[in-house]
């Protein structure tokens, strides 16, 4: 008896702490966690580096349109031994040659270079869209980890409260058995429920530790205090409240669709670039050079030469072993692949929009139903407790009513968080998810 009373006291304290620790000063909210993740998350850091690398495609593509200037210099020491057949050897000729040159090549007509430049512009846009997609992904990952941690806290608090309530029922059953107003069966039933609640409490503690660590991976530090969703907060409905409009937005402005569309355009330009391998090229070429040769037997006074050349260079491809035609066929096949990928992206976007929209609308309906069920479950528990006291209900009825109440409370908490997450996912399918949407959800926390 004393052990159970002390256990009950500790459980009450633990439940009070679990319910109140999130109200401590300095509790983190959704936006602050997101901003921490921006600076710490390795996956987002990788996306940021990919963006910087992608932006370099433009100057690389522009380089093919600008002149190429090359400078060179050389110096050579020469020792020449000459032997005339049937005659005495001639003296060794030793001298130095040196020189420098600067050459310029300006493409005048290289169609593949112009196509490459256009592809580079598209590649930069592709990289920027991928970065926006990474931002949306980070928002969803932060929201998921945050809500998972909140739900784990609710689960733990519910498990603790349920264990406290069952402990009270167990104490009551034992007292009633001692005075002869109840059978030992009531005590055994309550003890079984208490042991089960203890196991559930241990599982909830472990799950909370796992969920907190998942959040820590995103922000780089432990976040023990989280602002919670207010119990009386009304959840917003999706705007516009029309599933077909969301599907249309997802198919036209969803980031996955935009990425596939850009890839298709790049693939289309690639066909043009490969076919330009059949076209001639024309370059302006100019060079300036100077060379010198030291005194030797052939040039007793030494020799200095300056040369300047300017001209046009035309190159006409005739045959490359079939490589150009093969690359052309490859580019056509890759364009067909890109077109199929775009079709798949649009269908996936439509499916994602429908799934997210139905997740929001059905979630709102579930929240409403669970709120009504919570009220009914509380009334049922109160009625069963009263019935048990007057002898018209048995102990198992009270235990079942308690389980139903806490189960409903837990499902309500999950439905509310799942609905908010579905709303964020719905906006992501249309390509419009941003920090402002996260701030809107954050305003519901307290």
The kind and range of the H/E element at 292 are strand 281-293
Provide the pLDDT confidence category of residue 256 given band limits of 50, 70 and 90.
very high
CB 247 within 8 A of CB 90: no
Helix (H, G, I), strand (E, B) or coil at 90: coil
What would the pLDDT profile of 109-121 be if each residue is shown by its tens digit?
Answer: 999 999 999 999 9
Count other C-beta atoms under 10 Å from residue 21's C-beta. 14
pLDDT at 343 over 80: yes
The kind and range of the H/E element at 192 are helix 184-219
pLDDT at 64 over 60: yes
CB 360 within 8 A of CB 422: yes
pLDDT attached to residue 18? 44
Average pLDDT over residues 143-152: 95
For the chain, the C-alpha Rg in angstroms (whole number) is: 39
Nearest to 146 by CA among 75, 71, 226, 77: 226
Going by their DSSP bridges, the two strands 68-80 and 93-109 should be labelled as antiparallel
* Domain spans, the chain: 2-75+94-442
Q: Which residue has the tokens 């503690």?
A: 205
What would the pLDDT profile of 13-31 be if each residue is shown by its tens digit?
Answer: 444 444 444 444 468 899 9
At the second CATH level, the architecture of 2-75+94-442 is Up-down Bundle (1.20)
Average pLDDT over residues 84-99: 78
Report the alpha-carbon distance of residue 206 to residue 211 in Å, rounded: 9
Report the alpha-carbon distance of residue 103 to residue 6 in Å, rounded: 92
CB 95 within 8 A of CB 46: no
CB 106 within 8 A of CB 67: yes
pLDDT at 173 over 90: no
pLDDT at 329 over 60: yes
pLDDT at 297 over 80: no
Average pLDDT over residues 314-331: 94
């Amino acid at each position: 008896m004393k052990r159970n009373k002390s256990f009950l006291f500790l459980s009450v304290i633990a439940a009070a702490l679990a319910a109140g620790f999130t109200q401590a000063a300095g509790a983190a909210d959704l936006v602050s966690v997101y901003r921490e993740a921006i600076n710490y998350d390795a996956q987002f850091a990788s996306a940021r580096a990919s963006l910087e690398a992608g932006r370099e495609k433009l100057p690389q593509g522009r380089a093919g349109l600008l002149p190429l200037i090359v400078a060179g210099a050389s110096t050579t020491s020469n020792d020449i031994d000459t032997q005339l057949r049937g005659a005495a050897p001639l003296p060794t000729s030793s001298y130095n040659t040196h020189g420098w040159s600067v050459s310029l090549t300006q493409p005048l007509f290289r169609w593949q270079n112009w196509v490459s430049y256009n592809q580079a512009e598209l590649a930069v846009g592709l990289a920027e869209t991928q970065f926006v997609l990474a931002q949306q992904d980070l928002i969803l990952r932060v929201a998921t980890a945050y809500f998972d941690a909140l739900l784990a806290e609710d689960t733990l608090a519910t498990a603790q409260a349920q264990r406290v309530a069952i402990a009270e029922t167990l104490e009551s059953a034992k007292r009633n058995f001692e005075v002869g107003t109840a059978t030992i069966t009531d005590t055994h039933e309550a003890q079984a429920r208490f042991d089960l609640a203890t196991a559930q409490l241990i599982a909830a503690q472990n799950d909370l530790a796992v969920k907190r660590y998942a959040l820590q991976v995103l922000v780089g530090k432990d976040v023990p205090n989280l602002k919670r969703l207010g119990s009386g907060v009304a959840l917003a409905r999706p705007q516009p409240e029309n599933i077909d409009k969301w599907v249309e937005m997802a198919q036209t402005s969803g980031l996955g669709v935009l990425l596939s569309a850009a890839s298709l355009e790049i693939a289309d330009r690639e066909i043009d670039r490969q076919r330009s391998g059949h076209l001639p090229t024309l370059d302006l070429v100019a060079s300036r050079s100077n060379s010198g040769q030291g005194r030797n037997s052939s040039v007793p006074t030494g020799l200095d030469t300056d040369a300047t050349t300017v001209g046009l260079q035309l190159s006409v491809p005739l045959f490359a072993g079939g490589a150009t035609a093969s690359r052309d066929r490859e580019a056509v096949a890759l364009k067909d692949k890109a077109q199929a990928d775009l079709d798949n992206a649009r269908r996936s976007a439509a499916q994602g929009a429908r799934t997210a929209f139905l997740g929001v609308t059905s979630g709102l309906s579930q929240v409403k139903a669970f709120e009504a069920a919570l009220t009914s479950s509380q009334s049922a528990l109160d009625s069963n407790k009263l019935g048990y006291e007057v002898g018209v209900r048995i102990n198992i009825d009270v235990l079942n009513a308690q389980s139903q109440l806490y189960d409903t409370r837990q499902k309500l908490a999950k439905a509310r968080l799942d609905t908010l997450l579905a709303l964020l996912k719905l906006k992501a399918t249309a390509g419009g998810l941003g920090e402002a949407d996260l701030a809107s959800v954050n305003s519901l926390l307290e």
